[in-house]
Amino acid sequence: MYRVEVQQQTHFDNDSTDAPEQLRLLSEILGGHSAAVLSGLGIGAGARCWDIGSGDGSVARWLADQVGPTGSVLATDLKPEHVPVHPQIEARRHDLLADSWPAGRFDLIHARLVLMHLPRAADLALRLVEQLAPGGVLVLTDWFCDCAVGPVASPVDAYTSSIWWRYHDAVHDLGALAGMDLGWAAQTADVLRAAGHDDVTVLHDQACGRGGTPSALLARLHSTMLEDHLIRAGLEPGDLAAIRANLLDPGFEMATYHTFTTVLRAPQQAS
Ligand SMILES: C[S@@+](CC[C@H](N)C(=O)[O-])C[C@H]1O[C@@H](n2cnc3c(N)ncnc32)[C@H](O)[C@@H]1O
């Protein structure tokens, strides 16, 4: 999935046995938000779309249904094996950082939870704007992880609070070590506007984090996928068991990341 590599260890990877469930939960958490944003952009029959870091391809699939037989969706990923087969989708193995970018211009370029994981996200975003057709739209969705608020939203005892802070800090430290920009989501619009792009809007969303919800189940899965790192960071197996129990308990609520979706529309005619 995110290909988080620290000390030669890969923590998230689309090849891992947990990846299908991880990607499915991401789509469950964000699918409604993405569909609401994308359906307001006028992407219709014949559009040429590029979905970057496609994951399970659920957005590519949604777009393919909109563009119909005269349109196309290029779904690229480091590991595109989970992208569904569809006559309008071309799934392509592609590293946004290292490979040459697809030729031609796109009516829509979409990347969800991708740029926040990559170095030089601002440069990538500005390069993507250059790939838009006249009137085309760039849609970048990321989670703002540089949160001032605590990780737990419901009243809890001191032990539960302390293991959650340690879990939260260990996950953030790992992200920072892997090169993630935890604040990128909130800076995207400013970066685009500062480069002279006027038609930029930001849409916000925040999922519910009650025990048993998709966001809680994703955090629970991550506690397993990152277990070695969390133990090295000082959490005990009993702490992880308590965290996992919380995440199934509807009486417990964690704070979830704030979703920022930045939408840029290119001018109809090149200026
Ligand atoms: C967090 S997942 C998001 C998947 C999907 N966009 C979603 O929101 O459900 C990040 C995806 O980006 C892909 N990815 C990571 N680095 C990439 C790169 N340099 N080039 C292309 N894809 C990359 C990963 O393989 C993974 O599928």
The per-residue pLDDT for range 10-53, each reduced to its tens digit, is 457 898 899 999 999 999 999 999 999 999 999 999 999 999 99
Residue 198 token pair: 């006027």
Beta-carbon contacts of 152 under 8 Å, excluding residues fewer than 6 positions away, are: 160, 161, 164, 252, 253, 254, 255
Strand, coil or helix: 132: strand
Place 271 in a pLDDT band, splitting at 50, 70 and 90.
low
Interhelix angle 158-177/237-246, nearest 10 degrees: 100
Is 12 touching ligand 1 by the criterion CB < 6 Å? Answer: no
| Rg of the chain, C-alpha, whole Å | 19
What is the percent of the chain with per-residue pLDDT over 90, rounded to a whole number?
88
HEC per residue, 42-72: CCCCCCEEEEECCCCCHHHHHHHHHHHHHCE
> Are 182 and 172 in contact, with CB atoms under 8 Å apart?
yes
Q: How far is the CA of 116 from the centre of ligand 1 (A)?
A: 10
**DSSP code, position 128:** H
**Chain centroid to CA 175: how far?**
13
Strand order in the sheet with 106-112: 89-93, 72-77, 48-52, 106-112, 132-144, 258-265, 200-205
Place 179 in a pLDDT band, splitting at 50, 70 and 90.
confident
Ligand 1, residue 34: give the atom nearest the CA. 8
Q: How many residues does the chain have?
A: 271
> Are 90 and 75 in contact, with CB atoms under 8 Å apart?
yes
pLDDT tops 60 at residue 168: yes
User: 210: which strand partners?
Assistant: 253
Q: How far is the CA of 84 from the centre of ligand 1 (A)?
A: 15
pLDDT tops 60 at residue 136: yes
Place 147 in a pLDDT band, splitting at 50, 70 and 90.
confident
pLDDT tops 70 at residue 221: yes
Ligand 1, residue 96: give the atom nearest the CA. 20
More confident residue, 110 or 6: 110
The pTM (predicted TM-score) of the whole model is 0.95
pLDDT of residue 232: 95
pLDDT of residue 270: 60
pLDDT of residue 206: 94
Q: Beta strand pairing status for 200-205 and 72-77?
A: unpaired
Residue 241 token pair: 């068991």
Is 53 touching ligand 1 by the criterion CB < 6 Å? Answer: yes
Q: How far is the CA of 162 from the centre of ligand 1 (A)?
A: 31
Is 192 touching ligand 1 by the criterion CB < 6 Å? Answer: no
pLDDT of residue 148: 66
| Mean pLDDT calculated for residue range 202-225 | 97
Is 171 touching ligand 1 by the criterion CB < 6 Å? Answer: no
pLDDT tops 80 at residue 198: yes
pLDDT of residue 1: 40
The whole-angstrom separation of Cα 170 and Cα 166 is 6
H/E stretch holding 37 reads: helix 19-39
Which amino acid type is present at position 38? L
pLDDT tops 50 at residue 9: no
pLDDT tops 90 at residue 4: no
State residue 90 phi and psi, 5-degree precision: -105, 110
Candidate from 4, 117, 142, 215 with most ligand 1 atoms within 8 A of CB, to mutate: 117
Is 95 touching ligand 1 by the criterion CB < 6 Å? Answer: yes
The whole-angstrom separation of Cα 136 and Cα 128 is 11
Among protein residues, the one whose CA lies closest to atom 8 of ligand 1: 112
Beta-carbon contacts of 65 under 8 Å, excluding residues fewer than 6 positions away, are: none
Task: Give the torsion through C-alpha atoms of 209, 206, 19, 251, to 10 deg.
Answer: 10
> Are 154 and 252 in contact, with CB atoms under 8 Å apart?
yes
Q: How far is the CA of 160 from the centre of ligand 1 (A)?
A: 32
Strand, coil or helix: 23: helix
Is 113 touching ligand 1 by the criterion CB < 6 Å? Answer: yes
